[in-house]
Structure 1
Amino acid sequence: MRKLLLALTAAAGLSLGAPAQAQVAIGETGLTATITGTVASDYLFRGISQTRSRIAYQSSVELAHASGFYVGGFISNVRFAYTDARQEVDVFGGFRFSLADFNFDVGVQGYLYPGYSRAPGTYNLDFFEGYLKATREIGPVNLLGAINVSPNYFGQSGTGVYLEGGADWKTGIWDVTLGGRIGYQWIERNVRFGTPDYAWWSIAVSRDFAIPNIGTITASVGYYDTSISRSDCIYGTAQDICNARAMGYLTFKF
């Protein structure tokens, strides 16, 4: 039973990297629709694989107003061991604004797993987080930071607090962008979640490729790792979901 509970805590969320976006104005309403589509070699959430190292297919849509308010949704396949959870559907909403030389984004995001059958004695997977993000551009470098707080994190593992920082540098060489991220996840009930508190980090390169009369494809490859030892990962050596890995993705904007 303990193994089953740990398997339910693989973790969930948005894929790494900022996907390319296609924005479409909706008449004179001040509203803009943004649509993305991504194919990735894996689905990592804060360094942990959500698809057990399998290919991920993802899409998102966002409706934003000129005032700064927005709502949206995200969908991806997932594959958690010993569960029937196969889809993740996120809903989110918030407000973006600028202050001094910084851009801020404050909002709430819910992570839902429709189709998951909760067995007696196990825990609910769904959870939500409040978040605050900030970015600042300094020449060709975009600095960013974020904090996410959940009152009851994935698998009902108690309070979860997450901090992240990073930077993206437009190198000016072949239109390549070099990006790096580092984050740290605190979890109140580590045994229930399946890992200790941990750090993760990544470095990646990306580039846009324009396709005449169709749109743009953003290609990215990167290296990702966590501070979680193999024996401390969910299911220990039975799963390869916390280890270092290379990852690539293609994001489409039409």
Structure 2
Amino acid sequence: MHLAACTTRRAARCDASALRTNAELAQAADCTGISTRPSALVRMLQWAWCTSGAHCVVRHSGGFMRNWKLASAVVMALGAQAAYAELSVTPAVVSDYDFRGITQSALDPALQLSATYTFSNGIYVGTFASTLDDDSYPDAHLELDGIIGIAGGDPESSFGWDVGFVYYGYPGNSDFDWQELYAGISKGWFSAKLSYSPEFVGLDDSAFYIEGNGTFPLPHGFSLVTHVGYSFGDYWDAAEDTDSGNPYFDFAIGIAKTFGNVDVSLKYIDGSDLKAFDGTPGDVLTTEGKVWLSVSTTFPWGK
């Protein structure tokens, strides 16, 4: 998710020629069988594998890489027991791709797909894909993220925890790529999460995002869903100095219900004023308030 949109202070950084390399991925060594084909998830897995002390640093050519042998090795290295693993896949249609109160699809509908492979020890790997607005992400018509983490908790007390890493990838224009670490807890109807990026949206400044989410049961199988988040850190402080952004709140409130195997959610999403992103031409990266609708289903059914 690219928030900078070529601000005055950093327009040159947004140019397609200003390619950024990742030190962990740029080093060269021998990893038997490595190939060079697109996959953000496997690129992220390669990063995790090669920085875990496995004595193998991935060759990196500036683009995406796919290596199914290496991905398999990562899974085995994580100590997962495939016999007890579970795969869930969720396709969705949304009225807008909203990310922390900022549209990624210029307030147009988006197609999304997420998949998560969870092992019995709580480790999981996953991916998320979504269509994007062409004007917001030149040459990158798709977001393709890689996710790895571990979750646990105590079902009897309804307490849970979750920590992980996300690689936000944009095939076609890797200038937009960035990474984020996160940690969260949940208790009953409430959850909280803190996310941190050392180089937010591919730039030099760090950023934090803290959020709280609540789901409250209502009659007839409906649920009241709430969300509040706050974006802050060096990136947003620097943006405020140039009138190209500022630390800001976003919030959402709505209802959700499951009809058979189909999940439907209807929300109102808005937030505090975010300079330079409210009422933008063509609704590119706008923070304008909106009514948001999502229709999704999760496979396998019946669980």
SS at match of 2:180: strand
Q: Secondary structure at the match of 2:295?
A: strand
Partner residue, 2:196: 149
CA–CA distance in structure 2, aligned partners of residues 42 and 97 of structure 1: 32
- Alpha-carbon distance in structure 2 between the residues aligned to 1:227 and 1:40: 23
1:114 aligns with one of 171, 181, 187: 171
- TM superposition shift of 1:237: 3.7
Which secondary structure state, in structure 2, belongs to the residue aligned with residue 174 of structure 1? helix
Using the alignment, how far apart are the partners of 1:7 and 1:218 within structure 2?
Answer: 40
Letter in structure 2 aligned against 1:164: E
Contact preservation (8 Å) 1:225, 1:243: yes
Mapped partners of 2:290, 2:169: distance in 1 = 26
Contact 1:160 1:188 in 2 (8 A): yes
Structure having the higher helix fraction is: 2
Q: Which residue number corresponds to residue 224 of structure 1?
A: 269
Where do 4+ consecutive residues of structure 1 move more than 4 Å?
Answer: 1-4
Percentage of pairs with the same residue: 25
Q: 1:193 to 1:177 in 2, by over 3 A?
A: farther
- 1:184 aligned partner: 230
Number of matched pairs: 218
Question: Would the alpha carbon gap of residues 159 and 31 (structure 1) be closer, same or farther in structure 2, given more than 3 Å must change?
Answer: same
Deviations 1:3-51 (A, max 9, x none): 694996xxxxxxxxxxxxxxxxxx9711100110100000000010000
- TM-score for both structures, normalised by structure 1: 0.78
Q: Secondary structure at the match of 2:265?
A: strand
Counterparts of 1:32 and 1:184 in 2: how far apart (Å)?
A: 33
Say yes or no: does 1:130 pair with 2:187.
Answer: no
Change in 2 beyond 3 A, CA 1:128/1:187: same
1:68-114 deviation line (CA, Å, top 9, x unaligned): 11101111011153622211001011111115652000110110001
* Range moving further from structure 2, 180-189 or 103-112: 180-189
Contact between 2:95 and 2:109, CA under 8 Å: does it hold in 1? yes
Q: Alpha-carbon deviations, 1:97-138, whole Å to 9, x = none?
A: 11565200011011000112x7xxxxx21111110111111x
* CA shift in 2, pair 1:245/1:110, >3 Å: same
Contact 1:186–1:197 (CA under 8 A) maintained in structure 2: yes
Q: Does 1:233 align with 2:276?
A: yes
In structure 1, distance between residues paired with 2:230 and 2:134: 22
Shift of 1:187: 3.9
Q: Which has the larger radius of gyration?
A: 2
Matched, 1:57 2:111: yes
Decide whether the 8 Å contact of 1:6 with 1:194 is kept in 2.
no
Task: Tell me which moved more, 46-55 or 180-189.
Answer: 180-189
**1:97 lines up with 2:131 in the alignment:** no
List per-residue Cα deviations over 1:153-209 (Å, max 9, x = no partner): 1141510101001210011x1200101000000142343894211100000101101
Pick the structure with more strand per residue. Answer: 1
Q: Which amino acid aligns with 2:266?
A: V
Q: Which amino acid is the alignment partner of residue 149 of structure 2?
A: G
Could you tell me how far apart the structure 1 residues matched to 2:244 and 2:88 are? Answer: 35
Q: What displacement does 1:233 show?
A: 2.9
Do the aligned partners of residues 28 and 193 (structure 1) sit closer, same or farther apart at CA in structure 2, a change above 3 Å counting? farther
Code of the residue aligned with 2:139 in structure 1: it is: D
Q: TM-score, normalised by structure 2?
A: 0.66
Structure 1: runs of 5+ lacking an equivalent: 9-26, 119-123, 211-215
1:222 to partner: Cα distance:
0.7
Deviation of the 1:235 alpha carbon: 7.7
